[in-house]
């Protein structure tokens, strides 16, 4: 695995690969890698000639500076994991490489960006759009791989690519879960033993909502989910929403399979967790 730290060097390497007709796959990360990230790299390896992964903790998408400071940074372990899965290039830039000048661009994703995470974390998706568009400009991938756990982020990135006419194919990949159902997340390591023991209730609730989906109304399902989370004193619910999978607006009708998605966000102590399930 080749580790590259500058945009200029990476662009030169990528241009060489592209001139040879190689298909470039890209997996952007903020490090603190887990098997969910590795599954994206494996998927990219199966579909592309060259796989590039980046590690960059993007400051512009954190609306809470404490959250940025606490974000786990495990570069040596991350690099070893990528090496073991035969990632071809690790892009590990400094902040100055990604933002040579302050990025003042403001994106408008309309209603996609106003709901759920958008309302809870003002400015978050603008920061995501800044860094992803910058990375796409540097890496010039044919395909980019993102996990469905961040369902709203995935929708935003698809919209970003349309708005900026970026020629990259966005590949959604299924959420990977621990044996007890908890969605894999870099933030899970911040849970206390007691919180970690309680955390599978999130996935259990979502699985039950999916099971009940055929026989209950959307209102009944929302009430059920909120009651379930309410039974766990360690959890502070931020939202539970059943939304249209394309528009992310609250679902009026149940529609066909896959048309709606149940999304949840909550806090356990100082750790914020999100999850979803396609209905």
CA distance 199 to 269: 12
What would the two tokens of residue 98 be? 């990604």
Q: Is 34 a catalytic residue?
A: no
Surface-to-core class of residue 259, CB atoms within 10 Å of its CB (0-12 exposed, 13-18 middle, 19+ buried):
middle
CA distance 165 to 263: 28
CA distance 27 to 45: 10
Of the residues 34, 37, 124, 142, which is catalytic?
Answer: 37
Instruction: Work out the number of other CB atoms within 10 angstroms of the CB of residue 263.
Output: 22
For residue 176, report the phi and psi dihedrals to the nearest 5 degrees: -95, 145
For residue 152, report the phi and psi dihedrals to the nearest 5 degrees: -70, -40
Which of these, 144, 178, 176, 183, lies nearest to 161 by C-alpha position? 144
Give the total residue count for the chain: 279
CA distance 162 to 133: 11
CB 168 within 8 A of CB 142: yes
What would the two tokens of residue 49 be? 């000639």
Known catalytic residues are: 37
């Amino acid at each position: 695995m080749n580790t590259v730290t500058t945009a200029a060097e990476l662009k030169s390497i990528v241009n060489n690969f592209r001139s040879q007709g190689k298909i470039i796959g890209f997996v952007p990360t903020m490090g603190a890698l887990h098997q969910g990230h590795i599954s994206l790299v494996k998927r990219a390896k199966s579909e592309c000639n060259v796989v590039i992964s980046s590690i960059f903790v993007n400051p512009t998408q954190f609306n809470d500076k404490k959250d940025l400071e606490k974000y786990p940074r495990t570069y040596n372990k991350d690099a070893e994991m990528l090496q073991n899965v035969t990632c071809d290039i690790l892009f590990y830039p400094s902040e100055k490489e990604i933002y040579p000048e302050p990025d003042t661009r403001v994106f408008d994703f309309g209603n996609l960006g106003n709901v759920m995470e958008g309302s809870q974390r003002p400015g978050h998706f603008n920061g995501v759009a800044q860094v992803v568009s910058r990375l796409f400009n540097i890496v010039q991938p044919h395909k980019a791989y993102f996990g469905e756990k961040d369902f709203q982020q995935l929708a935003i990135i698809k919209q970003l690519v349309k708005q900026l006419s970026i020629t990259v194919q966005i590949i959604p990949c299924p959420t990977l879960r621990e044996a007890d159902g908890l969605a894999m997340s870099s933030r899970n390591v911040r849970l206390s033993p007691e919180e970690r023991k309680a955390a599978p209730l999130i996935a259990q609730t979502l699985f039950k909502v999916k099971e009940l989906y055929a026989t209950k109304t959307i209102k009944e399902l929302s009430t059920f989910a909120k009651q379930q989370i309410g039974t766990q004193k360690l959890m502070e619910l931020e939202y539970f929403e059943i939304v249209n999978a394309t528009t992310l607006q609250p679902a009026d009708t149940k529609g066909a399979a896959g048309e709606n998605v149940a999304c949840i966000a909550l806090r356990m102590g100082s750790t914020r967790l999100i999850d979803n399930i396609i209905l």
